[in-house]
Amino acid sequence: MSLLRKSAAELAAMLAAGETTSVELTQACLDRIAAVDGAVHAFLHVDAEGALAQAAASDARRAAGTPASELDGVPIAVKDVLATQGLPTTCGSKILEGWIPPYDATVVARLRAAGLPILGKTNMDEFAMGSSTEHSAYGPTHNPWDLDRIPGGSGGGSAAAVAAFEAPLAIGTDTGGSIRQPGAVTGTVGLKPTYGGISRYGLVAMANSLDQVGPVTRTVLDSALLHEVIGGHDPLDSTSIDQPLPALVAAAREGASGDLSGLRVGVIAELRGEGYQAGVQQRFDEAVALLVGAGAEVVEVSCPSFAHALAAYYLIMPSEASSNLARFDAMRYGLRVVPDVAKNGGSPSAEDVMRATRDAGFGDEVKRRIILGTYALSSGYYDAYYGQAQKVRTLISQDFAAAFELADVLVSPTAPTTAFRIGEKLDDPLAMYLNDVATIPANLAGIPGLSVPAGLAPEDGLPVGFQVLAPALADDRLYRVGAALEALLEKQWGGALLDQAPALEGAVR
Amino acid sequence: MTTLLSYDDAIAAFDPAMGLEVHVELNTATKMFCGCPTEFGAEPNTQTCPTCLGLPGSLPVVNRKAVESAIRIGLALNCGVAAWCRFARKNYFYPDMPKNFQTSQYDEPIAFNGYLDVQLEGGEVFRVEIERAHMEEDTGKSTHVGGATGRIHGASHSLLDYNRAGIPLIEIVTKPIVGAGARAPEVAKAYVAELRELIKALGVSEARMEMGQMRCDVNLSLRPHGREKFGTRSETKNVNSLRSVERAARYEIQRHAAVLTSGGTIVQETRHFHEEDGSTAAGRIKEEAEDYRYFPEPDLVPVAPSREWVEELRAGLPELPSVQRKRIQADWGLSDHEMQSVLNAGAIELILATIAEGADAASARKWWMGELARRSNEDGIELAALPITPAQVARVAALVAEGSLNDKLARQVIEGVLDGDGDPDTVVEKRGLKVVSDEGALGSAVDEAIAANAAIADKVRGGNLAAAGALIGAVMKTTRGQADAKRVRELILERLAAQG
Where residue B441 falls among pLDDT bands split at 50, 70, 90?
confident
Whether A79 sits among the annotated catalytic residues: the reply is yes
Contacts of A207 in chain B (CB under 8 A): 298
* Co-location of B246 and B352 in the same domain: no
Q: Is residue B110 part of a domain?
A: yes
Please give the pLDDT value at position A345. Answer: 67
Instruction: Write down the catalytic residue from A7, A131, A136, A178.
Output: A178
Of A6, A58, A79, A136, which one is the catalytic site residue?
Answer: A79
- Whether B500 is in a domain gets the answer no
Asked whether residue B199 falls in the same domain as residue B110, the answer is yes
In a domain, B17, yes or no: yes
Task: Compute the average pLDDT of residues A317-334.
Answer: 97
Q: Which of B386, B409, B431 is the last residue of a domain?
A: B431
Alpha-carbon gap, residue A113 to B396, rounded angstroms? 62
Interface residue of A324, A357, A371 to substitute, partner B, most B CBs within 10 Å: A324
- Would the CB atoms of B57 and A83 count as touching at under 8 Å? yes
Residue A429, domain member (yes or no): yes
C-beta separation of A439 from A176 below 8 A: yes
CA angle B84, A382, B165 (to 5 degrees): 60
A173 vs A198: CA distance, rounded Å: 10
Strand order in the sheet with B101-104: B101-104, B88-91, B295-296
What is the pLDDT of chain B when averaged over all its residues?
A: 91
CA-based nearest distance B7→chain A, Å: 39
Q: What is the pLDDT of residue B288?
A: 59
User: Residue range B410-434: average pLDDT?
Assistant: 87
> B164 with B189, same domain?
yes
pLDDT bucket at B395, cuts 50 / 70 / 90? very high
Q: Do B295 and A89 touch (CB under 8 A)?
A: no
Comparing CB atoms, the residue among B56, B59, B293 nearest residue A237 is B59
The answer to whether residue B336 sits within a structural domain is: no
Domain boundary residue, one of B289, B312, B335: B312
Q: How far is A269 from chain B (nearest CA, A)?
A: 31
The pLDDT of residue B290 = 78
Residue A99 lies in a domain: yes
Please tell me the distance from the alpha carbon of residue B409 to that of residue B371, in angstroms, as a whole number: 12
Kindly state whether residue B329 falls inside one of the protein's structural domains. no
- What pLDDT, on the 0 to 100 scale, is given for residue A492? 96
Please give the average per-residue pLDDT across B415-428, as a whole number: 89
Residues of B in contact with A205 (CB under 8 A): 57, 299
Note whether B411 and B460 are same-domain residues.
Answer: no
Domain match, B291 and B407 both: no
Q: Is residue B33 located within the same domain as residue B136?
A: yes
User: ∠ CA(B283), CA(B288), CA(B289), 5° rounding?
Assistant: 90
Closest residue by Cα to residue A360 from A330, A332, A327, A331: A330
CB contact burial B432-460 (16+ within 10 A = b; e otherwise): ebebbeeeeebeebbeebbeebeebbebb
Tens of pLDDT, residues B146-189: 876 666 667 788 899 999 999 999 999 999 999 999 999 999 99
- Residue A190 and residue A218 in contact, taking contact as beta carbons nearer than 8 Å: no
What average pLDDT does range A316-323 have in this prediction?
98
Name the average pLDDT for chain A. 96
User: Is pLDDT above 90 for A457?
Assistant: yes
Q: Specify if A366 maps to a domain.
A: no
Structural domain contains residue A321 = no
Q: Are A290 and A283 in contact (CB under 8 A)?
A: no
User: Residue B225 belongs to what domain range?
Assistant: 7-312
Rounded to whole angstroms, how far apart are CA atoms A342 and A332? 25
B289 with A239: Cβ contact below 8 A: no
CA quadruple B104, B110, B112, B118: dihedral sign: negative
Provide DSSP, B215-272. Answer: EEEEEEEEEETT--S----EEEEEE-SHHHHHHHHHHHHHHHHHHHHTT-----EEEE
Q: Give the phi and the psi of residue A370 in degrees, each rounded to 5.
A: -60, -40
Question: Binning pLDDT at 50, 70 and 90, where does residue B497 land?
Answer: confident
Residues 6+ away with beta carbon under 8 Å from B387: B417, B418, B420
In this predicted model, what pLDDT tens digit does every residue of B59-114 receive, in sequence order? 999 999 999 999 999 999 999 999 999 999 999 999 999 999 999 999 999 999 99
Considering the domain architecture, whether residues B419 and B463 belong to the same structural domain is answered as: no
For residue A274, name the pLDDT band (cuts at 50, 70, 90).
confident
| B454-467 pLDDT, tens digit each | 888 888 888 888 88
Q: Which residue of B has its CA nearest to A199?
A: B59
CB contact under 8 A, B56 and A327: yes
Return the pLDDT at A344.
59
pLDDT of res. A302: 97
In a domain, B133, yes or no: yes
Q: Residue B148's pLDDT is what?
A: 66
Supply the CATH number for residue A223's domain: 3.90.1300.10
| Nearest CB partner across the interface for B54, out of A322, A327, A354 | A327
Residue A333 with chain B: CB contacts under 8 Å: 55-56
Q: Are residues B83 and B194 in the same domain?
A: yes
Of B61, B289, B298, which has the smallest distance from its Cβ to A320's Cβ?
B298
Are residues B113 and B204 located together in one domain of the fold? Answer: yes
Q: Is residue A328 part of a domain?
A: no
Please identify, among B431, B453, B481, the residue that sits at the C-terminal boundary of a domain.
B431
pLDDT tens-digit map of A30-70 = 999 999 999 999 999 999 999 999 999 999 999 999 999 99
Contact A103 B61 (CB under 8 A): no
> Could you give the ipTM of this predicted complex?
0.95
pTM: 0.87
Based on the structure, what is the number of domains in chain B?
3
Q: Please indicate, yes or no, whether residues B183 and B239 belong to a single structural domain of this protein.
A: yes
pLDDT of residue B500: 43
- % of chain A at pLDDT higher than 90: 92
Residue A221's domain comprises 40-48+73-305+394-500
Q: What is the pLDDT of residues A107-144, one digit of tens each?
A: 999 999 999 999 999 999 999 999 999 999 999 999 99
Chain B CB within 8 Å of residue A351 CB: yes
Distance between CA atoms of residues B46 and A47, nearest Å: 30
Asked if A332 has any chain B CB less than 8 Å from its own CB, the reply is yes
Provide the 10 A C-beta neighbour count for residue A282. 17
Residues of A in contact with B91 (CB under 8 A): 322-323, 326, 377
Name chain A contacts of B89, Cβ cutoff 8 Å.
323
Look up the CATH number of the domain holding residue B445.
1.10.10
Residue A60 maps to a domain: no
Give the pLDDT mean for A217-223.
Answer: 98
For chain B, the helix, strand and coil percentages under 3-state DSSP, each to the nearest 5: 40, 20, 40
Count of structural domains, chain A: 1
- Report whether pLDDT(B287) > 60: no
Q: Which pLDDT tens digit goes with each residue over B258-285?
A: 999 999 999 988 999 998 899 999 986 6
Residue contact A323–B50, C-beta within 8 A: no
Residues B468 and B375 occupy one common structural domain: no
- In a shared domain, residues B381 and B486: no
